[in-house]
Structure 1
Amino acid sequence: MQIELTWTWLEGHPSLDFANTVIRRGWTEYELINSVADLDSWLDAAALPAPRPPTVTGDDLQAFLPLRDAALRLLRAGAGHGDWQATDVQTLNETLLSHPEVTLLGATMGSVESRPVGAPTPFTLLLAKLAAEVRDVLAGPRPDLAFCDAPSCGQLFFQRRPNQAWCGPPCGNRARVARHHTTSSN
């Protein structure tokens, strides 16, 4: 099945935009980042916590996918939809440890600025910042982190109200239609 890359689902939060590059159609999950061109397209559309690298390579793609997979599983676990895996924590932490930052006092009172230790490539720095965004969501209490279990969704989102079950109205409609279809066929 070919999935059109429109990126219309982007949440606007770097950790969720990162994890949600796997999408569900029906109950099957599909990878949206299958090539350097796909990664390049996503970088143009996503909310990024660091400057967009000017170019991406096949090596960047190979570094992106394992970190994204770990982030996806951890965020789903944080939303109560999956298990917390030590190997995923290790993947995230290794990325953070391999590209540390220091926070320095800024030029004006009350401001700070972060600087990477060493000279990481722009893409390496972006991965470290994405890992930090995932860490920050999972480290603090985020009762609004949720998993949309509507048919053909499976995206992570932040609830805008306490009882919000789906990421948006279209998913709520699909879930209600599916539930009605199931109950009326019994």
Structure 2
Amino acid sequence: MDDVPSWSWLEGRPALDFVNTVIRRGWTEIELIRSPADLDSWLDAAALPAPRPAKVTARDVADFLAVRDAALRLLRAAVGQGAWDAGDTEVLNEALAAAPEVLALGDEPGVVEARPVGSPRPFTLLLARLAGEVRDVLVAGPAELALCDAPGCGQFFFRRRPNQAWCGTPCGNRARVARHHGRGSAAT
């Protein structure tokens, strides 16, 4: 039986929670979505920008990973950790085009709601909205977007102060301990 990961959220922002389904143990990247059960677990825990599909399949996992991997590379490029790739933008654009939406007036003044054009599969709509969340982060100017480079992390986060280097206190502590141990072994 698969071990379903437990989910810890740094941001509660769908775009970052989406790409943060890849973590690091030491400097090795670990894929957290390996099966429909893993994806089901993530869908139960995540702040989703669309209704949760009732059931996920192996095809949904493959589609999720394709869009997520492109989004991950684009966000890394946005923070200077890789090259911007037109193929990755095409993957996100295809996900967006698979479930186009219109902004319709809501039930009261000042409220709009996104409505899909046609009747896309629920998972297709969810992937389109996740791709839209990533697009919005990239377009809004990722000045506060950062990649935590502490050993064992590698998660995206939004800086809350200009000099913030790590996503949280535990990562800062790990980085300082690693730096301290690095100095000690260099001196001997």
Q: Which category describes the TM-score, using the shorter chain as reference length?
A: over 0.9
Q: CA deviation at 1:143?
A: 1.0
Q: CA deviation at 1:107?
A: 2.6
Aligned to 2:168: 168
State the percentage of identical aligned residues. 68
Report how many residues are paired. 185
Q: CA deviation at 1:10?
A: 4.3
Report Cα offsets for 1:89-145 as digits up to 9, x if no partner: 110011112211011122322221111111001111000000000000001123110
Question: 1:3 touches 1:32 (CA, 8 Å); kept in 2?
Answer: no
Question: 2:51 touches 2:122 (CA, 8 Å); kept in 1?
Answer: yes
Question: 2:150 touches 2:175 (CA, 8 Å); kept in 1?
Answer: yes
After superposition, the Cα gap between the structure-2 partners of 1:127 and 1:113, relative to the gap in structure 1 and judged at 3 Å, is same
Return 5+ residue gaps in structure 2 as ranges: none
In the superposition, the TM-score normalised over structure 1's length comes to 0.95
Partners of 2:87 and 2:177 in 1: how far apart? 38
Q: CA deviation at 1:3?
A: 7.7
Question: 2:10 touches 2:157 (CA, 8 Å); kept in 1?
Answer: no
Aligned to 2:177: 177
- 1:1-186 aligned within 5 A: 5-186=5-186
In the superposition, the TM-score normalised over structure 2's length comes to 0.94
Q: Pairwise CA RMSD of aligned residues?
A: 1.4
Partners of 2:3 and 2:163 in 1: how far apart? 30
Report Cα offsets for 1:133-173 as digits up to 9, x if no partner: 00000011231100000000000011111111000011001
